[in-house]
Amino acid sequence: MRPLISTTDLAAALAGPEQDRPVVLDVRWRLAGPPGAESYRKGHVPGAVFTDLDRVLAAEPGEGGRHPLPDPADLQRDLRAAGVREGTSVVAYDDADGSVAARAWWLLRWAGHPEVAVLDGGYAAWTAEGHPVTTEEPHPEPGDITVRPGAMPVLNADEAAALARDGLLLDARATPRYAGETEPVDPRAGHIPGAVNAPFSAHVGDNGRWRAPAELAARFADLGLRPGEPVGAYCGSGVTASSVVLALELAGHPGAGLYAGSWSHWSRDPNRPAATGTLPG
């Protein structure tokens, strides 16, 4: 299944035979609120199940960072409750830049479920095009997905540091945070030495849709990515970096590593160095 699905194709799939309809996950979330569940209750794609980033798509914050990977057994339970079955397709959407939906995409891929896509343009595109919305909350039949973690590469801190030296490690945060000019959330400011700044916001256009593969490929080439070079990504807590992995796949570079703990994990250890400024360091 391709990483992206258009609003037109999703609408057609939802209008098709019931047994062929995808499971739709509403993963709206905002760091500063309001809670995504409030937006979901006001209206959502028909049949969509609200899936909370903090409760389902991540474990409790702690030593592993602010959004560590969920326990596989917990993820399996929650995905089954949402109706996810083996072999069925899943579509995730948010109402921002696609980065939270990309976390759901990455997590399902990591769990061994390749039939997953992000709704291109998200909820904004869905409503702008006049597709139906509802306030009715579904009660899906429990699914039977088996979570098999490890289908997408995960980097630990040492591996991320090595990749910054020997390959290409992309930092998905906005430039002021990368440069260490500000740090509103995590213990220390700066970036992993050697990492290259690649703000995730550049993956979508002004219309909220993902850029064309050729545009993304050119962007990553400008950032220094060479064909066949090992590449990985991190961000503040491992969420928006998932969109870098998705963008890399669209651009023809599948299998990028994700430093799941990201800066929220790295910066907890005072023995790990932090570079500042706009250069990799």
**Catalytic positions:** 235
Q: How far apart are CA 152 and CA 19, in angstroms?
A: 28
CA distances 186 to 102, 158, 269, Å, are 22, 19, 11
Q: How far apart are CA 214 and CA 156, in angstroms?
A: 30
Within a 13 Å sphere around the CA of 12, how many CA atoms are in the beta-carbon half? 5
Tokens of 62: 């702690």
Q: How far apart are CA 244 and CA 210, in angstroms?
A: 11
Query: 49 has which bridge partners?
Result: 25
Cα–Cα–Cα angle for 90, 149, 107, rounded to 5 degrees: 40
* H or E element that contains 103: helix 99-110
Could you tell me which residues come within 8 angstroms of residue 149 by beta carbon, excluding any fewer than 6 positions away? Answer: 69, 72, 110, 111, 112
| CA torsion angle 94 99 104 109 (round to 10) | 140
CA 211 from centroid of its chain's CA atoms: 16
**Are the C-beta atoms of residues 92 and 123 closer than 8 Å to each other?**
no
Q: How far apart are CA 122 and CA 101, in angstroms?
A: 8
| Amino acid identity for residue 38 in this structure | E
